[in-house]
Structure formats: C-alpha cells, structure tokens
C-alpha cells in the first residue's frame, strides 16, 4: 500500500508560507502541504496550521470533527492566538515557560531559518575575516529601540567604546547599509539580513545585542538570527542576551570564546551586572588568538553542514509534528 502523507493546511501567514516559504520544500518531503481554501470543505484527515486568532476562527468549525490543529508561535516567545489549547492542538513556540505540558519548543528554529533563507550567502564568503586588516575592534548591529539597548549605548559612549567599533543603530538613523530616511521594525529601507563582508573583515569580533537580554523567569534563552550572523560568517562573538545563551550554543555543538573573553558574564542573571562584565571585556580586548580563529571555522562549518541541519530539523520539528498528526 502506498504511503499517504499527512495533510497539512496553512491558514493565513505561518512559518511555511511567504515570506518564510523556504521551509516548505523540507516539509513537503513528509506532508501534503496546501493553503486554506474558503470554498473547500475539509475532512478529518486534515491538520490546520495557524498563527493568528483571526485565522484560527476561520477553521474553528472543524473542531470536534477529528481534525488536528497546530498553533504556530515558532518565531516568538508568545502566541498570537491565545493559549487556550485543547487536546487536538499542538502549540509550537521558540522558547518560554508555559503551564501546558504538550508544547513543542524549537529553540534552534533561527538556525534552521538562517540556513534555509540565507544559503546563497555562503558563496559570497570567499575568505575568512581573520585574514584581513582591521579598522575597528568590534561590530555591533542594532535595529529597533529597547530600553536595554539604549542603556548599553549610553554605557559604551561613556567609556568611549563606540569609537572602537563599527556599528549601526537604526532607530537613531545610524546605518551601515546606507542612508535611511526613517526606521520602524515593520518598514525597513534595507533587509534585516543585509550582509556586507567588509563589516566582518574589518573588525575583530561581534558584540551581539540580542532581542531579549533580561531574565524575567519566563523567557529562557532566546537565540535569534542576531547570534547566528557571526557564526555563519566566521566571526568571534560576545552575546548580550539571556543568561545561559553561550551554554545553550555549546550544547548545540558550537564553540564559544573563553580563550578570548571572560565568559562568566553569560552566567550573571542581573542585567546591569552582566552589562558591566561585558564592557570590561571590550576594554580589555587585545587580539584574537589562533585558538579562537579555529573556533570560528568550526562554527562556520557546523552552521552550514546540511546533514547536521537536516538531522536537527527532522528531530526537533518534523518528527514531533508527524507523531502528533498521526497519533
């Protein structure tokens, strides 16, 4: 008997539809993926994937009919469709602590996302950043405003450390990409994933400023494309993010830079103290040792290893969904 793939129906914007439809080919190896059609009636063999409450409302009539549902919060630490999930619903989130037992957490999602969406970038990398002369100590890329980012900028300015950096702060109108007239997170003059090899070639390391840097007891380590940029482009890095971020990266097989920085900052749960530990490392920076260079090459190769990425993608995302829809 021929195997029939489970039927997965995308309702509105999801992680399988534009602008993230680069995930779809990998899912189509295991699922019959389609987009919701208002004029079609669906039977109990279908599973609906939705992100927003209004899209859930479109398929609410199928609850209790044998259909399954997947709530898509994989990009986030919150759900945009509420959290009142029944036994026919599989909620998927990037990270965070929730009371519900059956929540699928996929903290490696941004690794998968950057690999699939930016795979063409690998061909643009024709040399290692360490092979080039440097004009600044560190690279720092900041987009939208948060109070923690402003505190970081103020502290770096007080210590005259911005003078040692190549940096952008888009919400202040300072851009490495080019002139920007105005900036909001939803309206950008340049791609959020814009890449210039010279940014990395002309700096010794990256200071990553993550989306969330505080420890509120709810959001666990949240590692986004911001951290994966230096990894995928062969750059050493520090991460101003959730405490424990470096430990999590190491558990995924990446190398961090204890030979370059005192990484006890990663264990400090007090945000203000963590910031002071990081700025102390910037002040004390001298040079990048050969051991760190080898780690950047390891990270680069691991990030772009298709076999490794496919293995984790299947184990962390495909298989749990398969188990849910076929149970």
Specify whether the CB–CB gap between 122 and 316 falls below 8 A: no
pLDDT score of 99 more than 90: no
- pLDDT at position 190 is 66
Label residue 225 by pLDDT band (50, 70, 90).
very high
Tokens of 245: 């971020």
Specify whether the CB–CB gap between 67 and 283 falls below 8 A: no
The DSSP call for residue 4 is P
Domain ranges in the chain are: 7-105, 115-306
Specify whether the CB–CB gap between 16 and 33 falls below 8 A: yes
Range scoring the smallest mean pLDDT among 29-43, 91-105, 151-165 = 91-105
pLDDT score of 305 more than 60: yes
Q: How far is Cα of residue 73 from the mean position of the Cα atoms in its chain?
A: 13
Express as a percent the part of the chain with pLDDT over 70: 96
pLDDT score of 189 more than 80: no
Give the position of tokens 């420890």: 215
- pLDDT at position 136 is 98
pTM value? 0.94
pLDDT score of 115 more than 50: yes
Please tell me which residue, 220 or 188, carries the higher pLDDT value: 220
- Pairing between strand 136-142 and 203-209? parallel
Q: What is the CA radius of gyration of the chain?
A: 21
Residues written for the chain: 327
- pLDDT at position 219 is 64
How much is the average pLDDT of 132-157?
A: 96
Domain 115-306: top CATH class: alpha beta
pLDDT score of 174 more than 50: yes
- pLDDT at position 188 is 64
Angle (nearest 5°) at CA 141 between 135 and 146: 140
pLDDT score of 1 more than 50: no
Per DSSP, the residues of 16-65 read TSTTSGGGHHHHTTTSEEEE--TT----TTEEEEE-SHHHHHHTGGGTTT
């Amino acid at each position: 008997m021929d195997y029939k793939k489970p039927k997965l129906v995308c309702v509105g914007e999801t992680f399988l539809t534009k602008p993230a439809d680069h995930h779809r080919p990998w899912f189509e190896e295991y699922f019959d993926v389609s987009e919701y059609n208002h004029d079609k009636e669906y039977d109990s063999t279908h599973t609906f994937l939705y992100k927003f409450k209004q899209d859930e409302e479109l398929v609410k009539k199928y609850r209790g009919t044998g259909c399954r549902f997947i709530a898509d919060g994989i990009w986030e630490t919150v759900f945009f469709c509420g959290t009142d999930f029944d036994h026919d619903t599989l909620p998927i989130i990037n990270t965070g602590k929730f009371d519900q037992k059956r929540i699928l957490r996929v903290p490696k999602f941004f690794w998968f996302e950057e690999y699939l969406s930016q795979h063409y970038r690998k061909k643009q990398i024709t040399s290692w950043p360490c092979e080039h002369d440097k004009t600044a100590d560190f690279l720092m890329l900041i987009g939208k405003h948060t109070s923690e980012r402003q505190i970081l900028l103020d502290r770096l300015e007080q210590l005259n450390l911005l003078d040692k950096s190549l940096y952008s702060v888009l919400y202040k109108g300072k851009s490495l990409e080019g002139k920007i007239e105005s900036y909001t997170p939803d309206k950008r003059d340049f791609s959020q994933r814009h890449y210039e090899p010279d940014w990395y070639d002309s700096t010794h390391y990256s200071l990553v400023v993550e989306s969330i840097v505080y420890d509120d007891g709810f959001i666990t380590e949240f590692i986004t494309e911001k951290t994966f940029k230096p990894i995928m482009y062969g750059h050493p890095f520090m991460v101003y993010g959730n405490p424990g971020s470096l430990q999590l990266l190491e558990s995924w097989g990446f190398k961090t830079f204890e030979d370059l920085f005192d990484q006890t900052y990663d264990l400090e749960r007090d945000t203000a103290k963590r910031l002071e530990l990081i700025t102390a490392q910037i002040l004390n920076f001298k040079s990048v040792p050969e051991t760190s260079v080898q780690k950047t090459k390891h990270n680069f190769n691991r990030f772009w290893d298709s076999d490794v990425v496919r293995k984790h993608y299947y184990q962390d995302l495909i298989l749990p969904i398969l188990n849910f829809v076929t149970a």
